[in-house]
Amino acid sequence: MNWSLLIIEFLIKAIIILTLILLIAAAFGVYLERKVSAWIQNRIGPNRVGPFGLLQPFADVIKLFLKEDITPSAADKLFHRIAPVISLGVALSVYAVIPFAEPFEMGNRTVYFALTTPDVNVGILFILALTSVGVYGITFAGWSSNNKYSLLGGLRSSAQMISYELSMGLSLVGVLLVAQSLSLQEIVQKQALWNWNVFYQPLAFLIFLVSAFAETNRAPFDLPEAEPELVGGYNTEYSGMKFGMFFLAEYANMFTSSLIIVLLFFGGWNLPIPAEWIGLEHGSFWLSLLQFFVLIIKTLFFVFFFIWVRWSVPRFRYDQLMYLGWKVLLPLALLNLIITSIVIYFLR
Amino acid sequence: MNRIENTEHDRLTFWERLYLPEIAKGLGITLRQMFKPKFTRQYPEERWEPTGSYRGRPVLVLDEDGERCVACGLCSRVCPALAIEVQAAETERDKERYPEKFEINMLRCIYCGFCEEVCPEEAIVMSKDYELVFTNREDAILGKEKLLVPIHKLQDRLEFLREYK
């Protein structure tokens, strides 16, 4: 095997996926959030930096880099520094296993439209495991700041993410039963041509959607950073690019969640019409590229949905949040799982 | 036994308790808002023109035969923020007195309009100027050369005063 070629391929993919897609998507997520919130409130939103304010995210990032980085003197320096790295690192590393389109042939080899190993057969488990690690970033941040508001934010976040992870995982089992596979590549292939899982597993989709909001700490479940009670929550004591990393991680997580929702429930990169109708063969570069854009468009819709919900729905009270997680979503997820298994047992 | 009345369970219908249809309704409202006209004024390009009732920077009226002020000092006397300083001097004109020095400290002015209300000559009025930026304290003390404004620029305010004062 030609190792140097593999490494070059990996580097190119890493650069494209991590910087071009993820970081820019996260930065423009911020822009989109400001624009959509402005539209909902009958305002215009950022429109000064560049055409339509499109360069605003770059201005923001430059500002964050140039800001003074303040560490509270009572803080635990090591964990205070590690926390944002964990948050952003986890948010980025999830992309190691997410495929973006069908593999295509180039020369005489197959190139996978994913960051690393082609077709990881435990893709979903890896994603679930990593998003759980993301809790550490927020909890460390809350604890190491040595500030009561940060600590409360960190505690809330860990309690919330752990309780919602259960129903999230259980709702996914239904999808896995339908697809009979853990590999994202296969799950998407099974949904070809409008055989979307959302039609077979509507309940699982609802549970997953609600849990995704809680997992990404977005409104209406943004209790870890509930401004009226907790100042800024876990990132109260952060400034400069450390704060920026939390900020980017939040938007990267939002993008990841939308991507996973699309991959699992909305047919992933499948085109709405058979590829033959527009004269593209399976395995060709152009088909992969087209699929990639289809995937991104579907994902952007969900990113928009996340933002839209944030500016429409008021924040939950903490007991309501726990009630919803443990007494509503978890039994529903179990119910969905039981029904799905019975149906599949009798259909086979 | 404790009886809890008027719980969420009693007040809401089944569909309201499900919460999701209500969220969908809320989302519908916000979606409709997105396409409504915006309220934003693009400030530096689009300026707001105040009406006559607006109390901006106080100025001295300069009509055809010179300044109206007779330096009676009432404005300086009534000013709650002690922003006005007047020094009178004699002149050959009909009015006999004029302000040799008339200073308003804009860092002190609170735009209450008392000076205008108390003025017997309608010589000091509130203008429409609202962009008052100073880069140091000395600049913020306005002397006569900055305070005197020709009368035709203050017509709106004078008409407003005639009607409502």
B6 and A CB contact within 8 Å: no
Nearest to A33, CA basis, from A224, A308, A324, A347 = A308
pLDDT at residue B80, rounded to an integer: 92
Using DSSP's 3-state secondary structure scheme, residue B101 falls into strand
H helices, E strands: number in chain A: 14, 2
Spatial distance between the Cα atoms of A139 and A277, rounded to a whole number of angstroms: 51
Any idea which residue has 């035709």 for tokens? B152
Spatial distance between the Cα atoms of A99 and B120, rounded to a whole number of angstroms: 82
The full set of domain ranges for chain B reads 58-164
Checking DSSP bridges between strand B58-63 and strand B148-150, what pairing results, if any? parallel
Write the CA distances from B116 to A181, B55, B111, B121, integer angstroms.
82, 10, 10, 9
Alpha helices in A145-239 (DSSP H): 148-179, 184-190, 197-200, 202-215, 227-230
Q: How far is CA A93 from the centre of its chain?
A: 11
Three-state secondary structure of A81-120: HHHHHHHHHHHHHHHHCCECCCCEEECCEEECCECCCCCC
The full set of domain ranges for chain A reads 3-347
Give the mutation candidate from B30, B39, B46 for the A interface (greatest A CB count, under 10 A). Answer: B30
Contact A43 B33 (CB under 8 A): no
Distance in Å, alpha carbon of B14 to nearest chain A alpha carbon: 15
Contact B26 A313 (CB under 8 A): yes
Q: How far is CA B12 from the centre of its chain?
A: 48
Distance in Å, alpha carbon of A305 to nearest chain B alpha carbon: 9
DSSP code at position B158: H
Question: Which class is domain B58-164?
Answer: alpha beta
Number of cross-chain residue pairs from A and B with Cβ atoms under 8 Å apart: 32
Contact B38 A42 (CB under 8 A): yes
Contact B34 A309 (CB under 8 A): no
The dihedral sign for the CA sequence A48, A50, A54, A58: negative
DSSP string, B35-75: TSPP----TTTS-----TT---SEEEEEETTEE------HH
pLDDT (tens digit, 9 = 90+) per residue, B58-94? 998 888 888 888 888 888 899 999 999 999 888 887 7
Contact A44 B42 (CB under 8 A): yes
Nearest to B74, CA basis, from B89, B61, B84, B60 = B84
Write the CA distances from A263 to A5, A98, A125, A179, integer angstroms.
29, 9, 14, 12
Contact B33 A42 (CB under 8 A): yes
pLDDT 10s per residue in chain A (348 long)? 577 777 777 777 777 777 766 777 777 888 888 888 888 888 888 888 878 878 888 888 888 888 888 888 887 888 888 888 888 888 888 877 788 777 777 666 666 766 666 667 777 888 888 888 888 888 888 888 888 888 888 888 888 888 888 888 888 888 888 888 787 777 887 877 777 877 888 888 888 888 888 888 777 887 777 667 777 777 888 888 888 888 888 888 888 888 888 888 887 777 777 766 776 676 677 777 788 888 888 888 888 888 888 888 888 888 888 888 888 888 888 998 898 888 888 887
Nearest to A332, CA basis, from A160, A156, A166, A127 = A166
Tell me if the pTM is above 0.90.
Answer: no
Spatial distance between the Cα atoms of A88 and A23, rounded to a whole number of angstroms: 10
